[in-house]
Amino acid sequence: MNQHLAQTLKKYIPEESVDLCVNWIVVHKVQLRITRERSSKLGDYQSPWGGKGHRISVNHNLNPFAFLITFVHEMAHLTAFEKHRNLIQPHGTEWKQEFRDLMSPFFQANIFPDDINKALQKYLHNPAAGTCSDQHLLRVLHRYDVPQHAKLRLEQIPPGSVFLLRTKQQLILKKGSLLRTRFECKEVYGKRTYLVNALAEVELLTEGQIQVF
C-alpha cells in the first residue's frame, strides 16, 4: 500500500476506509487533488484527456464522512466512464448503480454512524447529481462538521434577516418565506428575487455591515 497516500487520507476520511480508497487510487491511477473550499461543488471528476489520467478533486474542509461520500461519488463517475465511456448520462442509471456498488463495502464495514447510515441508505435508492441536493442527508452530515468548518445555514437565521450569500458574486439578500426546500429572498439593493436553498451557507449582516456594502 502507498504509505504516503494512506497517511494523507487518514487526515480526511475514517481510518477504516483508507485501505480501500488507496487501493482504488493506485489501481485506477487517480490523481487526487484536495482543494480549497468551493461553494458550487464538494468534488468533481475529470476523465483522461491530453495525456492526463483520471482526476478527482474533493474540498478540504469536509468532515470525514462527507469527504468519503464525496470521494466515492466521484469514483463512481470514474468506474462508469471506464465501462461506458461517454455513452451515458453523467448521473444516469449506470452511474447510480456504480455509486451503490462502491458504497457497499463501507456499509459492510460499519464505517458510518447510525444516523448517517440510515440517511445514506435512503439517498442511495435514487441518488441525485450531488449530495447537496438531498437536504436530509446533508443535515445529518453537518452534525459531524468540525467546529472551525461549521457554517451558518440560511434556515438557521430569523425571517427578515439580511445576509451575505457568496456565489460567483456577492449577493446581499433579505430572507423571506419558505417554498418547499428553498427560501424566497429579495435583493436589498436591487429588484431581483432568488430562491435560495435552505442549507445554503450565509453570513448574517448587522445594520453597520449592510451600510458598508
Q: Are 22 and 111 in contact (CB under 8 A)?
A: no
pLDDT tens sequence across 157-189 = 999 999 999 887 889 999 999 998 899 999 998
pLDDT value at position 209?
67
Q: Which amino acid is at 180?
A: R
According to DSSP, the residues that pair with 187 across neighbouring strands are: 173
Q: Are 197 and 184 in contact (CB under 8 A)?
A: no
Q: Are 6 and 22 in contact (CB under 8 A)?
A: yes
Domain range summary for the chain, segments of one domain joined by +: 3-149, 154-212
DSSP assignments along 115-168, one per residue:
HHHHHHHHHTTS--S-GGG-HHHHHHHHTT--GGG---BGGGSPTT-EEEEESS
Q: What is the pTM of this model?
A: 0.78
Measured CA to CA, the distance from residue 208 to residue 213 in angstroms comes to 9
Residue keyed to cell 468532515: 63
At CB < 8 A and 24+ separation, what contacts does 41-50 make? 41/130, 42/66, 42/70, 42/130, 42/131, 42/132, 43/70, 43/71, 43/73, 43/74, 44/74, 45/74, 45/75, 45/77, 45/78, 45/81, 47/77, 47/78, 47/81, 47/86
Rounded to the nearest integer, the mean pLDDT of the chain is 91
Query: Quick one: CATH architecture of 154-212?
Result: Roll (2.30)
pLDDT tens sequence across 86-112 = 999 999 999 999 999 999 999 999 999
Residue keyed to cell 489520467: 53
Among 42-51, 144-153, 189-198, where is mean pLDDT lowest? Answer: 144-153
